[in-house]
Amino acid sequence: MKINDVPQDDAGFLKEGKVRDVCYATDEEGKYTQILSVGWDPKNEAIRQAWDQIQAKAEKVRQKVISGKLSPLAFHMERCIMSSSLLSQYTGFSRIKVWKDRRPKAFKNLSMEERAAYAEALNMDVDTLTLI
């Protein structure tokens, strides 16, 4: 592929300039060089569909939080695509503890230090952790 053929189908994922792919293309001299691409339509559509599914799953969990079946931690985990196992690795808590803290009663009894650890792992402040 030549430099001018590298796809640049912007799908609006570049809000903060963080989503780009490195492609290798040949320059005028036939040498391979790295070129940044903002994507191409089929890939962008697949990403959009994946995020739609993630948001739909997060909305189902959000409804369970509103009904009192799950804690806000469960919603933020779903929204950030974090499993109990992954969040336990980020926080140092056991996988079972993370799983239990998804329950409203256990979440309500968390210490400020535990909430801070969850908030840091989920890249948010402690106050936001309690919101849905």
On the question of pLDDT at 14 being above 90, the answer is no
Domain assignment of residue 103, yes or no: yes
Is residue 58 located within the same domain as residue 119? yes
Q: What is the pLDDT of residue 124?
A: 96
Is residue 8 located within the same domain as residue 65? no
Q: Please tell me the total number of residues recorded for the chain in this structure.
A: 132
* CATH number of the domain that residue 63 is part of: 1.10.260
Is residue 10 located within the same domain as residue 62? no
Q: What is the pLDDT of residue 81?
A: 95
Q: What is the mean pLDDT of residues 67-73?
A: 97
Higher-confidence residue of 79 and 8: namely 79
Is residue 35 located within the same domain as residue 59? no
E strands, the chain, in order: 21-26, 32-37
Q: What is the pLDDT of residue 18?
A: 57
Is residue 16 located within the same domain as residue 55? no
Q: How many structural domains are present in the chain?
A: 2
Is residue 32 located within the same domain as residue 55? no
On the question of pLDDT at 15 being above 80, the answer is no
Domain assignment of residue 88, yes or no: yes
Which tokens belong to 37?
Answer: 């691409």
Distance of CA 132 to the CA centre of its chain: 16
Q: What is the mean pLDDT of residues 65-71?
A: 97
Is residue 8 located within the same domain as residue 29? yes
Higher-confidence residue of 38 and 68: namely 68
Give the dihedral sign, CA 91/93/95/96.
negative
Q: What is the pLDDT of residue 38?
A: 78
pLDDT band per the 50, 70, 90 thresholds, residue 16:
low
Is residue 27 located within the same domain as residue 80? no
As a whole number of angstroms, the distance between CA 5 and CA 26 comes to 10
Domain assignment of residue 46, yes or no: no
The answer for residues whose C-beta is within 8 angstroms of residue 5's C-beta and 6 or more apart is 25
Domain assignment of residue 44, yes or no: no
pLDDT tens, 80-104? Answer: 999 999 999 999 999 999 999 999 9
Question: Residue 76: which domain range?
Answer: 51-129
Domain assignment of residue 32, yes or no: yes
